[in-house]
Chains A and B, each alone.
Chain A
Amino acid sequence: MPGRVKKRSPLKAPERPYIAIGLEGSANKLGVGIIKHSPDGSVDVLSNVRHTYITPPGEGFLPRDTAQHHREWALTIINDAVSKAGVSLHDVDCICFTKGPGMGAPLVSVALVARTLSLLYNKPLVGVNHCVGHIEMGREITGAQNPVVLYVSGGNTQVIAYSQQCYRIFGETLDIAVGNCLDRFARVINLSNDPSPGYNIEQEAKKGKRLLPLPYTTKGMDISLSGILTSTEAYTTDKRFRPNGPSAEDGEDIITPQDLCFSLQEHVFAMLVEITERAMAHIGSKEVLIVGGVGCNERLQEMMGVMASERGGKVFATDERYCIDNGIMIAQAGLLSYRMGYETPLAKSTCTQRFRTDQVHVAWRA
């Protein structure tokens, strides 16, 4: 196969230890992580601290309130990460922050802190694409070589493959993200947002008994999710729907919130597996890497595992520490580009709500 020619990595082994701090706050999680790259090629996570803004059941997180949360917690979390890592901010080589994509106000809040630290300590800034952060951390943790990446979170749903210093998007959602779909349904049935709505959906889905018919909307390499959400919501006004479980006089033909969670998950995940499999066939890869907040859903990992094993491949996934938004992934991706000589000058350290994965020049890969 043409892709088999092993190219030399443009990333040279570091001549000294490099340390980077990463600040992430593109959605409702505020994360700070410190990473170290050693001359022997090893990568150490020195600390990885996160604080999540949790809203009451039935409510989502709004940009203003989320930004307020990040402003309140930023200094505490940074101090926590620094003391856990046992380093001083004087020791870090660069300060990495999320440039985008994400919600504007929370992004800007974190960027302000990053800029202030950069000027105070006279350290260079490195702006990082959030999606690339996820991919790089997933690759580092799992050791996957050249995987098809399924990036599924509250704001993004993309199938990505690497080619010629670019993470190319093979397929993505045409409307809402898969995490958004699940979170919004959790709101409809009033599930708790603690620790996350997606986690609670997953637990409820385990108790589901019926697979209800829902639309199955893959569109070539892309998927559409908003219609499925509407259809699932429509079941909650069905005469057979019992929000508090079946009562004594109910027969077999009833619908519980658990059944809906189960059906929604099965349909949505089946679609994701389908487009991922198609991308694998396209590029001839046998590895799948699942990253992003929805990636810690064990049912998704299980379904993907079945597909991958049928193709003689393997699934790589990480746990909630690295799947869910975190600061360490920003530090990892930022340090990789910093080692390739990339820095973000202060005047260019703005944030952008739209920043696609394929806009990044992946200089550190062959």
Chain B
Amino acid sequence: MTISLLKKVPSSTMQIPFANEKHATIAKQVIDVDRELQPEVVKRTLTVQGNILVATFTTLTVRLARLTANAFLENVDLVVRTIGEFGEDAERVPSSR
């Protein structure tokens, strides 16, 4: 029932470019762990194409699309800032302890 409803609303897609494919993949993996809060009315698909994180949302209503996109972007922001802060340090070859 819900699935047939979902199909009626066109899905929306977002493309978020990262510095490289590794960072885009990290963002995908990190965000993919948490399920959507209302999985029956919001469908989220994350894929990585090169250095771009592609997010596709299929939602029951436009309101839900806005809420989902908002929450998603907040999460992306946090992950991006974390990568920005620690990405370089993580790449550095660790000195032996």
The answer on a CB contact under 8 Å between A120 and B34 is no
The answer on a CB contact under 8 Å between A116 and B74 is no
* Residues of chain A within 8 A of B94, CB atoms compared: 88, 90-91
The answer on a CB contact under 8 Å between B75 and A112 is yes
* Contact residues of B between 66 and 97, Cβ < 8 Å to A: 74-75, 77-79, 81-83, 85-87, 89-90, 92, 94-95, 97
* Residues of chain B within 8 A of A119, CB atoms compared: 26, 29-30
The reply to whether the CB of A66 lies closer than 8 angstroms to some CB of chain B is no
Q: Beta-carbon contacts of A105-123 to B below 8 Å, as 1s and 0s?
A: 0001101110111011100
The reply to whether the CB of B31 lies closer than 8 angstroms to some CB of chain A is yes
Q: Which of the candidate stretches A169-177, A281-289, A345-353 sits at the interface with the other chain? A: A345-353
* Residues of chain A within 8 A of B82, CB atoms compared: 74-75, 112-113, 116-117, 120
Q: Beta-carbon contacts of B19-55 to A below 8 Å, as 1s and 0s?
A: 0000000110111011100000000000000000000
The answer on a CB contact under 8 Å between A350 and B74 is no
Query: Which residue of the partner chain A has the closest CB to B90?
Result: A120
The answer on a CB contact under 8 Å between A347 and B33 is yes
The reply to whether the CB of A71 lies closer than 8 angstroms to some CB of chain B is yes
Q: Tell me, in angstroms, the Cα distance from A90 to B77 when the chains sit together.
A: 24
Q: Beta-carbon contacts of A78-113 to B below 8 Å, as 1s and 0s?
A: 110000000011110000000000000000110111
The answer on a CB contact under 8 Å between B86 and A89 is yes
The answer on a CB contact under 8 Å between B90 and A112 is no
* Residues of chain A within 8 A of B87, CB atoms compared: 120
Q: How many of chain B's residues have a CB under 8 angstroms from any CB in A?
A: 25
* Residues of chain B within 8 A of A347, CB atoms compared: 33
The answer on a CB contact under 8 Å between B90 and A89 is yes
Q: A91-B94, A112-B75 are in contact. Are A350 and B26 (CB under 8 A)?
A: no
The answer on a CB contact under 8 Å between B78 and A71 is yes
The answer on a CB contact under 8 Å between B78 and A112 is yes
Q: How far is the CB of A80 from chain B (nearest CB, A)?
A: 12
Q: How far is the CB of A76 from chain B (nearest CB, A)?
A: 9
* Residues of chain A within 8 A of B30, CB atoms compared: 112, 115-116, 119
Q: Tell me, in angstroms, the Cα distance from A258 to B94 when the chains sit together.
A: 57
* Residues of chain A within 8 A of B27, CB atoms compared: 116
Query: Which residue of the partner chain A has the closest CB to B94?
Result: A90
Q: Tell me, in angstroms, the Cα distance from A109 to B83 when the chains sit together.
A: 15
The answer on a CB contact under 8 Å between B90 and A121 is yes
**Which of B79, B85, B97 is the one whose CB lies under 8 Å from A112?**
B79
The answer on a CB contact under 8 Å between A112 and B29 is no
* Residues of chain A within 8 A of B95, CB atoms compared: 88, 90
* Residues of chain B within 8 A of A75, CB atoms compared: 81-82, 85-86
- The interface of chain B, by Cβ under 8 A from chain A, is 26-27, 29-31, 33-35, 74-75, 77-79, 81-83, 85-87, 89-90, 92, 94-95, 97
Which 6 residue pairs spanning A and B have beta carbons closest together? A90-B94, A120-B90, A116-B82, A115-B30, A119-B26, A75-B85
Q: What are 21 A-B contacts with C-beta separation under 8 Å? A: A74-B82, A75-B82, A79-B85, A89-B89, A90-B95, A111-B34, A112-B78, A112-B79, A112-B82, A115-B29, A115-B30, A116-B26, A116-B83, A117-B82, A119-B26, A119-B30, A120-B26, A120-B83, A346-B33, A350-B35, A351-B34
